[in-house]
Structure 1
């Protein structure tokens, strides 16, 4: 029977440590709430637009992000109020290597909009923003100096009604500024649990070079928007873990030898 040493057990525990998920509550309001506060809606429609929270983690270079919102059950509502006549839809996911919102957390960042907040560096574009199940998402590098150059704003998606102005909602694919980088992810909808899920490998984008990954998402009217940052926990590479394991084995071996000699 093979003997399992304490050192072997410890190395196994280190290698199997899970990546802790970050829970980001929807404390971001953003500008132009027209006096409604976090969610712009009448009482009857309040839950249709409400974003509760997001849960995100980075494992290696892979991002998993789930956004909790009942809107996944109401995609396409109010077609008469939208510029394309198709209804309010799911927005794209905006990403940056650091979160720099305008304003103050205690006030819900109520001065933050496309012109003075985080400059988003990448956008994950949904292949069908009206789908009720999910699909493929394509990553674009946002090369413009301003968010207005890179994104379609909520103002452009709506023609009437009350909605939050000035929020980035879709990557502007009609512009030549956003650039596809050959990275594809997935997105899915879990209507039972009110979840919009994203998954994408962000290797070689530079988004994971720091200690956090910023994100921004809303429906195309911007009636509720969530922004925040996911903590990036650096996990040792396998080679580093191997060296650590050898060091621990040597340490325990030296300890045993000292005990025998004493």
Structure 2
């Protein structure tokens, strides 16, 4: 007997093929794995019979075949002797965790956000595979049941070290343990900005903030979009025009006196 694969994952399809000799033998074959029936009474056709199944229980077990002849007078019942082992492994998972010590509207202390996703495996993930279950624990606290979306938010006490997140795993998925990374907030408006560069750098924000570019105070240029700055520039320009007109009038008067 042969298997289409020696290693599988829950709910993936596996095919077992048994050969009955002589090829003229008729009857049925029942396939089992570790005492669980996989296919019952599959008809033998030209000395061959196949069984396709999707194991749900994790673990290793031999796949066996039992032949039952159509006529006990023509052929004898028998069991397979070369029984291959099928190993059904748990799916890998990816756990991403981040924490923020600034709190939130529902948590005045540390907020830890955890997302658990199922990893990819050879043979793909069957559509019939149930969603991840299990619990998520932060720093050894009581586990929080993983919801359908796979994301958990926990409120924990502030500590000097990064929180440790543990996913319990379930009947089909492995357990995992990771250290959360500190969340980084970028961008903003008003008083909240992100500054990059050297010297003057680049300051990004919205009014009344400015945009400053340059590599140092001496080479920096300042572009100000505030309303009061625009008004001041207009008044300065108007003053220059008035002064220029005065100079032109004085020049004309001196020419006439000559």
- Report TM bin, short chain: under 0.3
Larger proportion of helix: 1
The one of the two structures with greater contact order (alpha-carbon pairs below 8 A, sep at least 6) is 1
Q: Which of structures 1 and 2 has the bigger CA Rg?
A: 2
**TM-score, structure 2 as length reference:** 0.28
Larger proportion of strand: 2
**TM-score, structure 1 as length reference:** 0.27
